[in-house]
Amino acid sequence: MVEVRAEVARRLQRWRSTALPIAQAGLAAGLSWLVATEVVGHAHPFFAPIAAVVCLGVSLGQRLRRVVELVVGVAVGIGVGDVLISLIGSGPWQIALVVALAMSSAVLLDGGAVIALQAGSSAVLVATLLPPSAGGGLDRMVDALVGGLVGLAVTALLPANPLTVAHRQARVVFGELAAALRGVATAVAERDASQAAGVLARLRDSQEAVDEFRSALKTGGEIAAIAPIRWRSRHDLGRYETAAVPLDYALRNTRVLARRALAALRDGERAPEVLPGVLREYAAAVDLLRTELGRGEEPKRARTAVCEAARATTRQLGGEGFSTRVVLAQVRSVAVDLLQATGLSRAEAAESLPPLTRGGGDDEVSPPAG
């Protein structure tokens, strides 16, 4: 009984997470049919609700492009199909030829997969259902445009919260970075090469979290752009967008740091005693940055925390051995990345740190400004 209740709860949670997209699709389908019949005057605008559902069913960051692709695909398929069927008639080999030529035309126009598939399906309809030169092609193109525009309108009038997914994905990325920094700190403090290897393995899988974070920001940016009631979210999204690339570099630099720390431990190199504490301070600064961005605040405290931790590295860190020197250089690289994530430019981030005196080096991963 407990397992049944847990399964029901999971399914209800899954439904609640998709309830808004389902409502948007249903509303868009009904409205697109209403507009196409009552406003445009089409008797059977079957493609209008199809286009609306297709536009709403894809990733939000692709909807504007998807509307254009649908209309272009319909135009190509109808145009090629109408001309060819008028000349060669309808039949099995004619259908095969029409579809192949319509999709080829779409590809040659540098169209994406949606344009090619839509061109093919439109050509099939011309070859099997729509009589050539009877105006069906133009009507279907109008229906596609109506459905796409209604889908976008529903997104604008009944939008999701663009910050919800951004917050969730940001927590994952910040969590991965903070956990990695703490993991390397513990591995160095305990001289545990196996733990360093575990941190490195986890960091190698962190790119997916970064990609999902960027996708969430793209989705949220589109919602905030087309939905008036979400315009206020643009500022908070902007802070996340500023942080996205530097966080990616911070994870990459931390991966280099973990790899060289593992090599140093295996080679018996001794790291400075202060290094684990510095890495933990960085992790605490990452947690603080996540909190401030989540609250929509300018991350001033996180910026100060990073600077203080980096200042300690410049004063106290020094090491022997190639891998240890690389680790110390990466400690500074991560500081630059984190400062950029707080909103500083690369030049401002570098100027915020005291000059290196021992074992310094330039960033190993982060690209030059511009």
Counting as low any pLDDT under 50, the low residues of the chain are 59, 316, 358-370
pLDDT at 275: 86
Percent pLDDT > 70 in the chain is: 83
Token output for 1: 């009984």
Q: How do residues 224-251 score in pLDDT, each as one tens digit?
A: 777 777 777 888 888 999 999 999 999 9
Coil, helix or strand at residue 34:
helix
Predicted pLDDT of residue 234: 83
Rg (CA), the chain: 28
Q: Which amino acid is at 12?
A: L
- Spatial neighbors of 21 by CB under 8 A, at least 6 apart, are 56, 57, 160
pLDDT tens, position by position, 95-143? 888 888 888 887 777 656 667 777 777 777 667 766 555 555 667 778 8
List of domains in the chain: 2-157 (no CATH), 162-352 (1.20.58)
Residues 6+ apart with CB under 8 A from 312: 274, 277, 278, 281
The rounded distance, in Å, linking the Cα atoms of 368 and 346 is: 8
